[in-house]
Chains A and B, each alone.
Chain A
Protein backbone atom coordinates (compact mmCIF):
# COMPACT_ATOMS: atom_id res chain seq x y z
CA UNK A 1 0.00 0.00 0.00
CA UNK A 2 1.53 3.26 -1.09
CA UNK A 3 -1.33 5.61 -0.20
CA UNK A 4 -1.62 5.20 3.56
CA UNK A 5 -0.74 8.79 4.30
CA UNK A 6 -3.46 10.10 1.98
CA UNK A 7 -6.22 7.83 3.25
CA UNK A 8 -6.90 10.02 6.30
CA UNK A 9 -7.39 13.19 4.23
CA UNK A 10 -10.72 14.82 3.34
CA UNK A 11 -11.87 14.65 -0.29
CA UNK A 12 -14.76 16.26 -2.19
CA UNK A 13 -17.32 13.66 -3.24
CA UNK A 14 -20.27 15.72 -4.53
CA UNK A 15 -22.09 19.02 -4.68
CA UNK A 16 -24.31 19.39 -1.62
CA UNK A 17 -26.97 21.26 -3.63
CA UNK A 18 -27.30 18.33 -6.05
CA UNK A 19 -27.69 15.54 -3.50
CA UNK A 20 -30.86 13.48 -3.50
CA UNK A 21 -32.19 10.42 -1.72
CA UNK A 22 -31.30 8.15 -4.62
CA UNK A 23 -27.65 9.01 -4.07
CA UNK A 24 -24.62 9.47 -6.24
CA UNK A 25 -22.65 6.30 -6.90
CA UNK A 26 -19.02 7.23 -7.16
CA UNK A 27 -15.62 6.12 -5.90
CA UNK A 28 -12.87 7.29 -3.60
CA UNK A 29 -9.34 5.99 -4.05
CA UNK A 30 -10.56 2.87 -5.79
CA UNK A 31 -13.38 2.09 -3.33
CA UNK A 32 -17.02 2.40 -4.47
CA UNK A 33 -18.95 4.86 -2.31
CA UNK A 34 -22.47 6.27 -2.27
CA UNK A 35 -23.21 9.92 -1.50
CA UNK A 36 -26.84 10.68 -0.65
CA UNK A 37 -29.17 12.95 1.30
CA UNK A 38 -30.87 11.26 4.22
CA UNK A 39 -34.44 11.79 5.45
CA UNK A 40 -33.36 14.75 7.62
CA UNK A 41 -31.63 16.43 4.68
CA UNK A 42 -28.12 15.65 5.84
CA UNK A 43 -25.38 14.35 3.59
CA UNK A 44 -24.57 10.67 4.10
CA UNK A 45 -21.59 8.82 2.62
CA UNK A 46 -21.32 5.05 2.72
CA UNK A 47 -18.76 2.60 1.45
CA UNK A 48 -19.82 -0.26 -0.85
CA UNK A 49 -20.16 -2.64 2.10
CA UNK A 50 -22.50 -0.23 3.89
CA UNK A 51 -19.90 1.15 6.29
CA UNK A 52 -20.69 4.82 7.02
CA UNK A 53 -17.85 7.22 6.26
CA UNK A 54 -17.10 10.56 7.94
CA UNK A 55 -18.91 13.53 6.39
CA UNK A 56 -18.44 17.30 6.26
CA UNK A 57 -20.39 19.82 4.22
CA UNK A 58 -18.35 22.89 3.36
CA UNK A 59 -17.62 25.20 0.39
CA UNK A 60 -20.68 23.89 -1.47
CA UNK A 61 -19.37 20.34 -1.45
CA UNK A 62 -19.72 17.15 0.54
CA UNK A 63 -16.38 15.92 1.92
CA UNK A 64 -15.50 12.45 3.09
CA UNK A 65 -12.59 10.12 3.83
CA UNK A 66 -11.91 6.40 3.74
CA UNK A 67 -9.76 6.70 6.85
CA UNK A 68 -9.97 8.55 10.13
CA UNK A 69 -9.11 12.22 9.50
CA UNK A 70 -6.87 13.59 12.23
CA UNK A 71 -7.26 17.19 11.09
CA UNK A 72 -10.24 19.43 10.46
CA UNK A 73 -11.00 20.23 6.84
CA UNK A 74 -8.71 23.14 5.81
CA UNK A 75 -10.08 26.64 6.33
CA UNK A 76 -10.97 29.12 3.61
CA UNK A 77 -11.82 32.25 5.62
CA UNK A 78 -13.16 34.02 2.52
CA UNK A 79 -15.97 31.45 2.42
CA UNK A 80 -17.56 33.29 5.36
CA UNK A 81 -16.99 36.80 4.04
CA UNK A 82 -20.12 38.85 3.33
CA UNK A 83 -20.64 40.15 -0.19
CA UNK A 84 -19.00 37.25 -2.00
CA UNK A 85 -20.82 35.08 -4.50
CA UNK A 86 -20.23 31.38 -4.13
CA UNK A 87 -20.23 29.47 -7.40
CA UNK A 88 -20.58 25.69 -7.74
CA UNK A 89 -18.93 25.07 -11.11
CA UNK A 90 -19.85 21.37 -11.27
CA UNK A 91 -17.89 18.21 -11.89
CA UNK A 92 -15.59 17.34 -14.78
CA UNK A 93 -13.99 13.90 -15.04
CA UNK A 94 -10.39 13.69 -16.22
CA UNK A 95 -8.34 10.61 -17.06
CA UNK A 96 -5.21 11.71 -15.21
CA UNK A 97 -3.63 11.54 -11.78
CA UNK A 98 -5.38 13.79 -9.23
CA UNK A 99 -1.94 15.20 -8.46
CA UNK A 100 -1.34 16.16 -12.11
CA UNK A 101 -4.65 18.04 -12.06
CA UNK A 102 -3.53 20.05 -9.01
CA UNK A 103 -0.07 20.72 -10.42
CA UNK A 104 -1.54 22.10 -13.64
CA UNK A 105 -3.73 24.43 -11.59
CA UNK A 106 -0.60 25.84 -9.92
CA UNK A 107 1.07 26.60 -13.26
CA UNK A 108 0.91 29.94 -15.06
CA UNK A 109 3.46 29.41 -17.83
CA UNK A 110 0.91 27.49 -19.94
CA UNK A 111 -1.60 30.35 -20.08
CA UNK A 112 -0.54 31.83 -23.47
CA UNK A 113 -0.61 28.42 -25.18
CA UNK A 114 -3.58 26.66 -23.59
CA UNK A 115 -5.82 29.58 -22.50
CA UNK A 116 -4.92 31.74 -25.47
CA UNK A 117 -6.36 35.27 -25.46
CA UNK A 118 -8.08 34.65 -22.11
CA UNK A 119 -5.47 34.05 -19.39
CA UNK A 120 -2.44 34.71 -21.57
CA UNK A 121 -1.21 35.54 -25.05
CA UNK A 122 2.08 35.63 -26.89
CA UNK A 123 4.41 37.50 -26.77
CA UNK A 124 3.65 37.98 -23.03
CA UNK A 125 5.07 34.58 -22.04
CA UNK A 126 7.68 35.51 -19.46
CA UNK A 127 7.19 34.27 -15.90
CA UNK A 128 8.76 36.70 -13.47
CA UNK A 129 10.30 35.58 -10.22
CA UNK A 130 7.86 34.87 -7.42
CA UNK A 131 8.06 33.56 -3.87
CA UNK A 132 7.40 30.01 -2.72
CA UNK A 133 7.33 28.92 0.89
CA UNK A 134 5.86 26.34 3.25
CA UNK A 135 3.49 28.17 5.58
CA UNK A 136 1.75 26.20 8.37
CA UNK A 137 2.56 23.04 6.45
CA UNK A 138 0.85 24.30 3.30
CA UNK A 139 2.55 25.14 0.02
CA UNK A 140 2.22 28.88 -0.74
CA UNK A 141 3.30 30.82 -3.81
CA UNK A 142 2.99 34.60 -3.65
CA UNK A 143 3.77 37.65 -5.79
CA UNK A 144 2.98 35.66 -8.91
CA UNK A 145 2.31 38.13 -11.74
CA UNK A 146 1.19 37.50 -15.29
CA UNK A 147 -0.14 39.57 -18.15
CA UNK A 148 -3.66 38.49 -19.04
CA UNK A 149 -5.86 39.58 -21.96
CA UNK A 150 -9.09 38.68 -20.10
CA UNK A 151 -8.32 37.66 -16.53
CA UNK A 152 -11.89 37.20 -15.36
CA UNK A 153 -15.39 37.33 -16.74
CA UNK A 154 -15.64 40.86 -15.34
CA UNK A 155 -12.40 42.03 -16.99
CA UNK A 156 -12.78 44.07 -20.14
CA UNK A 157 -9.20 44.35 -21.29
CA UNK A 158 -5.65 43.17 -20.66
CA UNK A 159 -4.14 43.62 -17.20
CA UNK A 160 -1.23 42.29 -15.23
CA UNK A 161 -2.89 40.02 -12.73
CA UNK A 162 -1.39 39.11 -9.39
CA UNK A 163 -1.89 35.66 -7.97
CA UNK A 164 -1.31 33.71 -4.78
CA UNK A 165 -1.52 29.94 -4.74
CA UNK A 166 -2.05 27.73 -1.77
CA UNK A 167 -2.07 23.92 -1.44
CA UNK A 168 -3.76 23.04 1.85
CA UNK A 169 -4.36 19.32 1.07
CA UNK A 170 -2.79 16.92 -1.40
CA UNK A 171 -5.62 17.13 -3.95
CA UNK A 172 -6.91 20.65 -3.26
CA UNK A 173 -5.57 24.01 -4.31
CA UNK A 174 -6.78 27.55 -3.67
CA UNK A 175 -6.01 30.46 -5.96
CA UNK A 176 -6.27 34.09 -4.85
CA UNK A 177 -6.26 36.52 -7.71
CA UNK A 178 -6.62 40.23 -8.41
CA UNK A 179 -10.25 41.20 -8.15
CA UNK A 180 -10.92 43.86 -10.82
CA UNK A 181 -14.10 45.35 -9.25
CA UNK A 182 -12.55 45.49 -5.75
CA UNK A 183 -8.78 46.10 -5.77
CA UNK A 184 -8.40 45.64 -2.00
CA UNK A 185 -9.74 42.07 -2.06
CA UNK A 186 -8.80 38.79 -3.72
CA UNK A 187 -11.09 36.60 -5.76
CA UNK A 188 -10.92 32.99 -4.60
CA UNK A 189 -10.97 30.14 -7.08
CA UNK A 190 -10.42 26.60 -5.90
CA UNK A 191 -9.78 23.23 -7.44
CA UNK A 192 -11.11 20.39 -5.32
CA UNK A 193 -10.08 17.03 -6.76
CA UNK A 194 -11.76 13.74 -5.91
CA UNK A 195 -9.33 10.87 -6.52
CA UNK A 196 -11.38 8.05 -8.08
CA UNK A 197 -8.26 6.04 -8.84
CA UNK A 198 -4.57 6.82 -9.15
CA UNK A 199 -5.08 7.79 -12.80
CA UNK A 200 -8.67 9.04 -12.79
CA UNK A 201 -10.29 11.96 -11.00
CA UNK A 202 -13.40 14.06 -10.71
CA UNK A 203 -12.55 17.75 -10.53
CA UNK A 204 -14.84 20.19 -8.69
CA UNK A 205 -13.89 23.83 -9.23
CA UNK A 206 -15.52 26.29 -6.82
CA UNK A 207 -15.36 30.08 -6.56
CA UNK A 208 -15.95 32.86 -4.02
CA UNK A 209 -15.98 36.11 -5.96
CA UNK A 210 -16.79 39.76 -5.64
CA UNK A 211 -18.75 40.25 -8.84
CA UNK A 212 -22.26 41.68 -8.74
CA UNK A 213 -22.69 42.18 -12.44
CA UNK A 214 -21.86 38.94 -14.21
CA UNK A 215 -24.61 36.31 -14.34
CA UNK A 216 -24.04 33.11 -12.42
CA UNK A 217 -24.20 31.11 -15.65
CA UNK A 218 -21.54 33.32 -17.24
CA UNK A 219 -19.28 32.78 -14.23
CA UNK A 220 -19.77 29.00 -14.46
CA UNK A 221 -19.15 28.98 -18.21
CA UNK A 222 -15.97 31.04 -17.85
CA UNK A 223 -14.49 28.63 -15.33
CA UNK A 224 -15.65 25.54 -17.27
CA UNK A 225 -14.02 27.00 -20.39
CA UNK A 226 -10.71 27.35 -18.60
CA UNK A 227 -10.84 23.88 -17.09
CA UNK A 228 -11.88 22.15 -20.31
CA UNK A 229 -8.94 23.76 -22.08
CA UNK A 230 -6.71 22.13 -19.47
CA UNK A 231 -8.42 18.75 -19.72
CA UNK A 232 -7.03 17.90 -23.16
CA UNK A 233 -3.54 18.59 -21.80
CA UNK A 234 -4.02 16.55 -18.64
CA UNK A 235 -5.20 13.50 -20.59
CA UNK A 236 -2.09 13.53 -22.77
CA UNK A 237 0.73 13.74 -20.26
CA UNK A 238 3.04 10.76 -20.04
CA UNK A 239 3.13 9.09 -17.60
CA UNK A 240 -0.41 9.53 -16.26
CA UNK A 241 0.94 9.48 -12.70
CA UNK A 242 2.86 12.47 -11.35
CA UNK A 243 6.59 11.65 -11.33
CA UNK A 244 8.22 12.47 -7.99
CA UNK A 245 11.66 11.33 -9.19
CA UNK A 246 13.41 14.64 -9.96
CA UNK A 247 15.16 13.16 -12.99
CA UNK A 248 11.95 12.34 -14.79
CA UNK A 249 10.85 15.87 -15.76
CA UNK A 250 12.80 19.10 -16.11
CA UNK A 251 11.58 22.12 -14.13
CA UNK A 252 12.69 25.73 -14.58
CA UNK A 253 12.44 28.78 -12.35
CA UNK A 254 8.84 29.25 -13.52
CA UNK A 255 8.00 25.87 -11.98
CA UNK A 256 9.03 26.61 -8.39
CA UNK A 257 5.47 26.07 -7.10
CA UNK A 258 5.38 22.67 -8.74
CA UNK A 259 8.80 21.79 -7.35
CA UNK A 260 7.65 22.73 -3.84
CA UNK A 261 4.38 20.80 -4.30
CA UNK A 262 6.21 17.65 -5.41
CA UNK A 263 8.65 17.88 -2.50
CA UNK A 264 5.81 18.47 -0.03
CA UNK A 265 3.94 15.43 -1.40
CA UNK A 266 7.04 13.29 -1.10
CA UNK A 267 7.82 14.47 2.43
CA UNK A 268 4.30 13.61 3.61
CA UNK A 269 4.25 10.33 1.73
CA UNK A 270 1.26 11.67 -0.24
CA UNK A 271 1.90 9.33 -3.13
CA UNK A 272 -1.53 8.13 -4.28
CA UNK A 273 -1.39 9.13 -7.96
CA UNK A 274 2.39 9.57 -7.93
CA UNK A 275 5.15 7.64 -9.64
CA UNK A 276 8.09 7.28 -7.31
CA UNK A 277 10.71 5.69 -9.51
CA UNK A 278 11.36 6.49 -13.17
CA UNK A 279 10.17 3.64 -15.36
Chain B
Protein backbone atom coordinates (compact mmCIF):
# COMPACT_ATOMS: atom_id res chain seq x y z
CA UNK B 1 0.00 0.00 0.00
CA UNK B 2 1.58 3.24 -1.13
CA UNK B 3 0.83 6.58 0.54
CA UNK B 4 1.71 9.82 -1.22
CA UNK B 5 2.55 11.72 1.89
CA UNK B 6 3.47 15.14 3.22
CA UNK B 7 4.87 15.11 6.74
CA UNK B 8 3.14 18.38 7.73
CA UNK B 9 -0.28 17.50 6.32
CA UNK B 10 -2.81 16.53 9.01
CA UNK B 11 -4.82 14.60 6.40
CA UNK B 12 -1.77 12.51 5.49
CA UNK B 13 -1.08 12.05 9.20
CA UNK B 14 -4.57 10.57 9.67
CA UNK B 15 -3.58 7.75 7.34
CA UNK B 16 -0.13 7.24 8.89
CA UNK B 17 -1.72 7.20 12.35
CA UNK B 18 -4.44 4.75 11.37
CA UNK B 19 -1.85 2.47 9.76
CA UNK B 20 0.32 2.62 12.89
CA UNK B 21 -2.61 1.86 15.19
CA UNK B 22 -3.70 -1.09 13.05
CA UNK B 23 -0.12 -2.30 12.45
CA UNK B 24 -0.29 -1.89 8.66
CA UNK B 25 3.01 -1.18 6.93
CA UNK B 26 2.74 1.67 4.42
CA UNK B 27 5.11 2.34 1.58
CA UNK B 28 5.60 6.08 2.07
CA UNK B 29 6.24 8.21 -1.00
CA UNK B 30 7.13 11.73 0.23
CA UNK B 31 5.63 14.57 -1.82
CA UNK B 32 7.32 17.98 -1.96
CA UNK B 33 4.08 19.86 -1.19
CA UNK B 34 5.86 22.91 0.23
CA UNK B 35 7.79 24.63 -1.21
CA UNK B 36 7.83 22.43 -4.36
CA UNK B 37 4.05 22.16 -5.06
CA UNK B 38 4.71 18.67 -6.40
CA UNK B 39 1.07 17.69 -5.76
CA UNK B 40 0.16 19.99 -8.66
CA UNK B 41 2.69 18.40 -10.98
CA UNK B 42 1.84 16.00 -13.82
CA UNK B 43 2.68 12.73 -12.00
CA UNK B 44 0.39 13.36 -9.06
CA UNK B 45 -2.34 15.12 -11.07
CA UNK B 46 -2.55 11.95 -13.17
CA UNK B 47 -3.32 10.00 -10.01
CA UNK B 48 -5.55 12.65 -8.45
CA UNK B 49 -6.91 15.35 -10.76
CA UNK B 50 -8.10 17.27 -7.69
CA UNK B 51 -4.45 18.00 -6.92
CA UNK B 52 -4.72 17.10 -3.25
CA UNK B 53 -2.81 14.73 -1.00
CA UNK B 54 -2.89 12.17 0.58
CA UNK B 55 -3.32 9.62 -2.18
CA UNK B 56 -3.45 5.94 -1.24
CA UNK B 57 -2.66 3.44 -3.93
CA UNK B 58 -3.19 -0.31 -3.50
CA UNK B 59 -3.01 -2.24 -6.78
CA UNK B 60 -6.03 -1.08 -8.78
CA UNK B 61 -7.50 0.97 -5.94
CA UNK B 62 -6.68 4.69 -5.83
CA UNK B 63 -8.17 6.66 -2.95
CA UNK B 64 -7.99 10.45 -2.68
CA UNK B 65 -10.25 11.04 0.36
CA UNK B 66 -8.62 10.45 3.73
CA UNK B 67 -11.83 9.15 5.36
CA UNK B 68 -12.05 6.44 2.72
CA UNK B 69 -8.42 5.53 3.42
CA UNK B 70 -9.15 5.16 7.14
CA UNK B 71 -12.10 2.91 6.37
CA UNK B 72 -10.01 0.85 3.94
CA UNK B 73 -7.18 0.33 6.43
CA UNK B 74 -9.64 -0.61 9.17
CA UNK B 75 -11.63 -2.97 6.94
CA UNK B 76 -8.45 -4.67 5.80
CA UNK B 77 -6.61 -4.97 9.09
CA UNK B 78 -8.73 -4.13 12.12
CA UNK B 79 -12.52 -4.05 11.53
CA UNK B 80 -13.19 -3.14 15.18
CA UNK B 81 -12.17 0.40 14.19
CA UNK B 82 -15.30 0.60 12.02
CA UNK B 83 -17.61 0.30 15.03
CA UNK B 84 -19.85 -2.51 16.16
CA UNK B 85 -22.32 -2.20 13.29
CA UNK B 86 -25.20 -1.17 15.57
CA UNK B 87 -27.45 1.34 13.82
CA UNK B 88 -26.82 4.29 16.10
CA UNK B 89 -23.08 3.72 16.29
CA UNK B 90 -22.78 3.31 12.51
CA UNK B 91 -24.62 6.60 12.07
CA UNK B 92 -22.38 8.37 14.56
CA UNK B 93 -19.27 7.11 12.75
CA UNK B 94 -20.62 8.51 9.48
CA UNK B 95 -21.71 11.75 11.17
CA UNK B 96 -18.20 12.49 12.47
CA UNK B 97 -16.45 11.28 9.32
CA UNK B 98 -18.44 13.86 7.35
CA UNK B 99 -17.97 16.46 10.06
CA UNK B 100 -14.21 16.02 9.80
CA UNK B 101 -14.33 17.79 6.43
CA UNK B 102 -15.50 20.92 8.24
CA UNK B 103 -12.46 20.71 10.51
CA UNK B 104 -10.23 20.48 7.44
CA UNK B 105 -11.87 23.49 5.81
CA UNK B 106 -11.87 25.69 8.91
CA UNK B 107 -9.00 24.75 11.25
CA UNK B 108 -6.95 23.37 8.37
CA UNK B 109 -7.49 26.54 6.36
CA UNK B 110 -6.49 28.72 9.31
CA UNK B 111 -3.36 26.61 9.83
CA UNK B 112 -2.28 26.86 6.18
CA UNK B 113 -2.83 30.62 6.31
CA UNK B 114 -0.96 31.21 9.57
CA UNK B 115 1.87 28.77 8.96
CA UNK B 116 2.47 28.35 5.24
CA UNK B 117 1.12 31.75 4.10
CA UNK B 118 -1.76 30.40 2.01
CA UNK B 119 -4.49 32.94 1.14
CA UNK B 120 -7.75 32.98 3.08
CA UNK B 121 -10.09 35.03 5.28
CA UNK B 122 -8.37 34.20 8.56
CA UNK B 123 -11.04 35.75 10.81
CA UNK B 124 -13.78 33.70 9.15
CA UNK B 125 -11.69 30.50 9.15
CA UNK B 126 -10.91 30.84 12.85
CA UNK B 127 -14.57 31.60 13.70
CA UNK B 128 -15.69 28.52 11.75
CA UNK B 129 -12.99 26.50 13.50
CA UNK B 130 -14.24 27.60 16.91
CA UNK B 131 -17.81 26.70 15.92
CA UNK B 132 -16.65 23.22 14.87
CA UNK B 133 -14.65 22.71 18.07
CA UNK B 134 -17.71 23.64 20.12
CA UNK B 135 -19.77 21.03 18.28
CA UNK B 136 -17.12 18.41 18.89
CA UNK B 137 -16.86 19.39 22.56
CA UNK B 138 -20.65 19.15 23.00
CA UNK B 139 -20.67 15.78 21.23
CA UNK B 140 -17.96 14.45 23.53
CA UNK B 141 -19.73 15.77 26.64
CA UNK B 142 -22.89 13.95 25.60
CA UNK B 143 -20.98 10.77 24.81
CA UNK B 144 -19.43 11.03 28.27
CA UNK B 145 -22.91 11.22 29.80
CA UNK B 146 -23.76 8.04 27.88
CA UNK B 147 -20.68 6.42 29.40
CA UNK B 148 -18.58 6.53 26.26
CA UNK B 149 -15.13 8.10 25.93
CA UNK B 150 -14.96 8.35 22.14
CA UNK B 151 -17.05 9.93 19.39
CA UNK B 152 -19.05 6.89 18.35
CA UNK B 153 -18.53 4.34 21.08
CA UNK B 154 -16.53 3.52 24.18
CA UNK B 155 -13.63 2.50 21.99
CA UNK B 156 -11.95 4.58 19.32
CA UNK B 157 -13.15 4.27 15.73
CA UNK B 158 -12.14 5.70 12.37
CA UNK B 159 -14.30 8.72 13.28
CA UNK B 160 -11.93 9.70 16.10
CA UNK B 161 -8.90 9.39 13.84
CA UNK B 162 -10.63 11.49 11.16
CA UNK B 163 -11.27 14.31 13.63
CA UNK B 164 -8.19 14.20 15.85
CA UNK B 165 -5.38 15.71 13.72
CA UNK B 166 -6.94 19.04 12.72
CA UNK B 167 -8.27 19.47 16.26
CA UNK B 168 -4.92 18.76 17.91
CA UNK B 169 -3.20 21.18 15.51
CA UNK B 170 -5.77 23.98 15.91
CA UNK B 171 -3.22 26.17 17.76
CA UNK B 172 -1.05 26.14 14.60
CA UNK B 173 -3.82 28.24 13.04
CA UNK B 174 -4.14 30.55 16.02
CA UNK B 175 -7.17 28.77 17.53
CA UNK B 176 -6.74 27.97 21.23
CA UNK B 177 -7.75 24.60 22.64
CA UNK B 178 -7.82 25.90 26.23
CA UNK B 179 -11.65 26.25 26.41
CA UNK B 180 -12.44 22.58 25.66
CA UNK B 181 -12.00 20.19 28.62
CA UNK B 182 -13.76 17.25 26.94
CA UNK B 183 -11.58 17.61 23.84
CA UNK B 184 -8.50 17.70 26.10
CA UNK B 185 -9.47 14.38 27.75
CA UNK B 186 -10.38 12.78 24.43
CA UNK B 187 -7.14 13.91 22.82
CA UNK B 188 -5.18 12.50 25.73
CA UNK B 189 -7.02 9.18 25.49
CA UNK B 190 -6.12 8.93 21.80
CA UNK B 191 -2.50 9.94 22.37
CA UNK B 192 -2.21 7.26 25.04
CA UNK B 193 -3.25 4.45 22.67
CA UNK B 194 -0.74 1.71 22.03
CA UNK B 195 1.25 2.34 18.80
CA UNK B 196 0.13 5.99 18.65
CA UNK B 197 2.50 8.12 16.56
CA UNK B 198 2.93 11.90 16.54
CA UNK B 199 3.36 14.45 13.80
CA UNK B 200 5.22 17.77 14.06
CA UNK B 201 3.14 20.09 16.26
CA UNK B 202 1.86 17.22 18.44
CA UNK B 203 4.55 16.56 21.00
CA UNK B 204 5.27 13.36 22.87
CA UNK B 205 3.32 12.68 26.08
CA UNK B 206 6.49 12.33 28.13
CA UNK B 207 4.49 11.33 31.20
CA UNK B 208 3.69 7.99 29.57
CA UNK B 209 7.30 7.00 30.18
CA UNK B 210 8.59 6.88 33.74
CA UNK B 211 11.04 9.55 34.81
CA UNK B 212 14.39 8.07 33.69
CA UNK B 213 16.23 9.88 36.46
CA UNK B 214 14.39 8.27 39.33
CA UNK B 215 15.98 4.98 40.30
CA UNK B 216 13.41 2.23 40.54
CA UNK B 217 13.92 1.35 44.20
CA UNK B 218 12.00 0.09 47.13
CA UNK B 219 12.37 3.22 49.24
Contacts and interface: CB of A to CB of B under 8 A. Distances in A.
Q: Do A and B come from one complex?
A: yes
Contact of B203 (A18, A114, A224): A114
Contacts of A91: 35, 116-117
Given A92-B115, A229-B200, A224 B30 contact: no
A200 B182 CA distance: 31
Interface of B: 6-8, 30-32, 34-36, 38, 114-117, 171-172, 174, 200-201, 203-204, 206, 209, 212-213
Nearest to B202: A232
A225 B200 contact: yes
B201 A229 contact: yes
Contacts of B206: 113, 116, 122
Contacts of B36: 217, 220
Given A93-B117, A224-B8, A225-B200, A217 B172 contact: no
Contacts of A216: 32
Question: Max chain B CB contacts within 10 Å: which of A123, A216, A217?
Answer: A217
A235 B201 contact: no
A228 interface: yes
B201 to A, nearest CB: 5
A217 B31 contact: yes
Interface of A: 15, 18, 88-93, 95, 113-114, 116-117, 122-123, 202, 215-218, 220-221, 224-229, 231-232, 235
Given A116-B203, A232-B203, A221 B7 contact: yes
Given A18-B35, A217-B36, A231 B116 contact: no
Contacts of A95: 114, 174
Contacts, number: 72
Contacts of B213: 123
A87 to B, nearest CB: 10
Given A90-B34, A123-B213, A228-B8, 6 more contacts: A93-B114, A93-B116, A225-B200, A227-B200, A228-B200, A231-B200
Contacts of A93: 114-117
Given A90-B35, A95-B114, A122-B212, A215 B204 contact: no
A232 B172 contact: yes
6 contacts: A217-B36, A220-B32, A226-B200, A228-B201, A229-B201, A231-B200
A114 B114 CA distance: 21
Nearest to B113: A93
A224 B32 contact: no
Contact of A217 (B30, B200, B204): B30
A110 to B, nearest CB: 11
A226 B38 CA distance: 21
B117 A122 contact: no
Given A93-B116, A228-B8, A88 B35 contact: yes
Contacts of B174: 95
A171 B115 CA distance: 19
A229 B116 contact: no
Contacts of B204: 113, 116-117
Contacts of A15: 35
Contacts of B6: 221
A8 B200 CA distance: 35
Given A122-B209, A217-B30, A231 B115 contact: yes
Nearest to A232: B201
Given A113-B206, A231-B201, A221 B114 contact: no
Nearest to B209: A122
Contacts of B7: 221, 224-225
Given A88-B35, A114-B203, A224-B8, A232 B171 contact: yes
B208 to A, nearest CB: 11
Contacts of B116: 90-93
